Amino acid sequence: MNSEILGLTKTEERVYLRLLGEGNTLASSLIRKLQLHRATVYDVLNRLIEKGLASFTVVDKKKYYEASSPNRILDIIKEKKKNIEEQEKEAEKLVKELSKIKEKTPSSDIRILEGKEG
């Protein structure tokens, strides 16, 4: 799995893959099987939940964690694409406004160049 595309750490990737293979599981099972520190596993589970890649249910006062559908990965990429498109539109507006300011500013005809261009 290419975790860089999703912005996952290697540990997040390991926990997600383990969740995917096990279905509903307790954090203690993940800690034991992945041989990670307890706090690390809980932190990673919370980050995966925030990213929409995991969820939990409570049964008899115990939290059982489960990986979200792999289709969620496509949703995340689509969300990132949409955000980038929105940022591009905002940047285009900003460039237009800045260009108008630049046009109004008097410029000098003297330029000092260094290097090969000079």
Q: What would the DSSP string read from start to end of 19-80?
A: HHHH-SEEHHHHHHHHT--HHHHHHHHHHHHHTTSEEEEEETTEEEEEEPPTHHHHHHHHHH
- Per-residue model confidence (pLDDT) at position 101: 85
Q: Low-confidence residues of the chain, pLDDT below 50? A: none
Pairing of strands 54-59, 25-26: unpaired
- Per-residue model confidence (pLDDT) at position 76: 85
- Per-residue model confidence (pLDDT) at position 118: 60
- Residue 65 phi/psi, 5-degree rounding, is -100, 150
**Which structure tokens are listed for 106?**
């008097």
- Per-residue model confidence (pLDDT) at position 117: 63
- C-alpha 80/C-alpha 101 separation (Å) is 31
- Per-residue model confidence (pLDDT) at position 90: 94
Given a contact cutoff of 8 angstroms between Cβ atoms, the answer to whether 46 and 12 are in contact is: no
pLDDT digits (tens, 9 = 90+) for 38-65: 999 999 999 999 999 999 999 999 999 9
